[in-house]
Amino acid sequence: MRRRSSKRKSGKRSKVRRSHAYGIAKPSIRLSPRPLVGLWQVRGGTVLSLLLLAALGLLTNQFFTTDEFYVYDVALQGNQFLDEDEIYTASGLEGMSIFWINPEQVEAAISSLLNVKEAKVNYRLRNQVRIEVLERQPQIVWQRGEVRYWVDDLGTILPLEDELEGMLLIQDLATGPLEVGDRIDSEVITSALELRQRLPEATAFQYSEDKGLSFDQGGYPVYFGTGDMAEKVAILNALLQDLTSKGVKPEFVDLRFKESPCYKY
């Protein structure tokens, strides 16, 4: 940029006496701290990042290379018939990092056990895991041939672990073996439990596909089929009073169809 003079220019050229003066120019360089600060910021940020990375590496090493964050035992609740080792093995948690646990997968694995109806898994640092199981509760002892099983309220065939006192026995008249895990029609189970409630003196029933549930009434069978047990028991009581008054002992009483009960003598 050029500097303009304050005098106006005229048409004549004026002679200007030029004198030469020499002096020492003082340097006008000013040192700014900004480059140094910027350099420190760049290098300081890098150093800080390296320190954080090193700390993260040490922390990761602590998490994944020490036993403190790996599962080697669990707290188990709710199991009555199932062995603890069986549940623990099914969970697949042995030696697993606490950070890799997927509760939904573990719950599904445990629930695949035949006697488990539902499972719930909770965990927290460092390596504490709690498993709560809801077992299938046996409702009936089911016998086919000489073999007995447990049956839960949904009709699932379970292995017989023990003879529970007072449990209803149903003798299946069908032939052929049953497999653990097979299903009995849940209506049969519901009807049997209701019938037992209405006839507390009865401790055992028989079952066949064509006649349903039946039991021995003083020397002759009474066929109930399935369903509507309260009404059928009421019909039976009224019918027994009538037969007793007439001195009749029937060969059987058929209540499978409550609209048309019948008997033979």
DSSP string, 182-229: -B--HHHHHHHHHHHHH-TT--EEEEETTTEEEEESSSSEEEEESS-H
Phi–psi pair at 32, nearest 5 degrees: -105, 140
Q: Give 21's DSSP letter.
A: -
Domain residue spans in the chain?
A: 68-135, 138-259
CATH domain 138-259 topology: Rossmann fold (3.40.50)
| In the chain, alpha helices (H) | 34-65, 84-91, 103-111, 186-198, 229-246
**What is the pLDDT at residue 13?**
37
CA distance 164 to 38: 82
CA distance 150 to 136: 10
How is residue 98 written in tokens?
């606490």
**What is the pLDDT at residue 150?**
93
Give SS3 for 31.
coil
**What is the pLDDT at residue 60?**
60
**What is the pLDDT at residue 61?**
57
One digit per residue, the tens of pLDDT, for the chain of length 265 reads: 333 333 334 443 333 343 344 444 455 555 555 554 554 455 556 767 766 766 665 656 555 566 788 999 999 999 888 889 999 999 999 999 999 999 999 999 999 998 899 999 999 988 899 999 999 889 999 999 999 999 998 899 999 887 777 889 999 999 888 999 899 999 999 999 999 999 988 889 999 999 999 999 888 999 999 999 999 999 999 999 999 898 888 999 999 998 999 988 8
Look at domain 68-135 and name its CATH class: alpha beta
Give SS3 for 58.
helix
Phi–psi pair at 38, nearest 5 degrees: -60, -40
**What is the pLDDT at residue 43?**
58
What per-residue string of b and e applies to 27-52 under the rule 16 or more CB within 10 Å gives b? eeeeeeeeeeeeeeeeeeeeeeeeee
Selection from 180, 116, 115 nearest residue 147 by Cα = 180
How is residue 51 written in tokens?
């320190």
